[in-house]
């Protein structure tokens, strides 16, 4: 029995993970309500492919103002430090630059 090289291990790992990914994809897309694989059995609710591929309706639109508000409220909790180096911007200056 010979030892495997790093290339052989990589190829085997790639082949095994591709096979498992393909199996999971087939199970996910199937319309079976009862799945048995070895000693594992699962009963599930079947959804159509259109439902699976449809974008979720609960996503909320995040605007730039929301991001700036959340960032400024997060940064306002950070204590401002005085730096001896004038080239280092302060937290307040960074927030002001983001608000522009």
Q: Tell me: the pLDDT tens digits for 23-36?
A: 888 877 777 888 88
72 and 47 fall within a common domain: no
Say if residue 30 is in the same domain as residue 73. no
Residue 12 pLDDT grade (very low, low, confident, very high; cuts 50, 70, 90):
very high
Same domain, 45 and 69: no
pTM: 0.38
Pairwise pLDDT comparison (7 vs 50), residue with the higher score: 7
Query: Does one domain contain both 1 and 43?
Result: yes
On whether both 11 and 27 belong to a single domain, the answer is: yes
Q: In this structure, are 74 and 96 located in the same domain?
A: yes
Digit-coded pLDDT (tens) for 45-81? 877 767 767 766 655 667 777 778 888 877 776 666 6
Q: Which domain holds residue 91?
A: 60-100
User: 13-40 burial, b for 16+ CB within 10 Å, e for fewer?
Assistant: eeeeeeeeeeeeeeeeeeeeeeeeeeee
């Amino acid at each position: 029995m010979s030892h495997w090289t790093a290339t052989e291990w990589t190829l085997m790992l790639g082949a095994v993970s591709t096979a498992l990914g393909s199996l999971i994809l087939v199970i996910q897309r199937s319309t079976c309500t009862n799945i048995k694989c070895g000693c594992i059995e699962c009963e599930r609710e079947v959804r159509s492919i259109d439902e699976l591929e449809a974008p979720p309706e609960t996503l909320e639109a995040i605007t730039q103002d929301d991001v700036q508000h959340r960032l400024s409220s997060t940064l306002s909790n950070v204590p401002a430090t005085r730096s001896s180096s004038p080239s280092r911007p302060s937290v307040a200056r960074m927030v002001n630059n983001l608000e522009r």
